[in-house]
Structure 1
Amino acid sequence: MWIYQKTLQHPVNIKNGDLGMAKYLITQFGGPNGELGAALRYLSQRYTMPTGKSRALLTDIGTEELAHVEIISTMVYQLTADATPAELRAAGLGSSYAQNGFGIYPSDANDNINPQLR
């Protein structure tokens, strides 16, 4: 198995595959509170900062969040590297494995906030 770790500040060298852990990490990668979303929030919010120092701080934080994305991507790759397509599907990592159902929905008169979670 080829392991990509040369450019990471904190190298990742996972020895054994674990599809269940990979599934959890994918949510941390791009889920509703994942690293990718955090990076985009910091890098977008920097444009509203009143001073150069505050813009620079949010740029640094957003860039660090992108480094976390790279680390998690490497971990997911290593955890799934030797899995067959059938094993990936059996672990719930088929063609669509996004975490859904946590969006913001307007409440109706009966306070049914999210119809998908009923």
Structure 2
Amino acid sequence: MNCKLTKDATPEKMKAAGLGDHYANHDGALFYQNASGAPWTASYITAKGDPIADLYEDIAAEEKARATYQWLINLSDDPDINDSLRFLREREIIHSQRFREAVEILKEERDRKKVF
């Protein structure tokens, strides 16, 4: 999506769009960062080693992504971009639902009496 939006952008257009710093550092290449410009880091990935706790982390990540897609839709007036963002937002909802189902399965298994 980013490539499509910027593929024909000149350096002047990038600068006018507030992307001059990005262009100076990365040209048109993707550089993973948040909206404030903080770069992505692997420290964003959390894992406790407990499947239920880890699934709750996954649920939280999916819900944060869903919210971000919604906020991007709120900012955009491009119907094609918004269609793509809606698809991605709905995908996050499905992921969250599947992780919630997995949590319930693991809880049932954990609470089941085991006889050896």
Computing the radius of gyration from Cα coordinates, the structure with the larger value is 2
TM-score (normalised: structure 1): 0.49
| Higher-helix-fraction structure | 2
Higher relative contact order (CA 8 A, sep 6+): 1
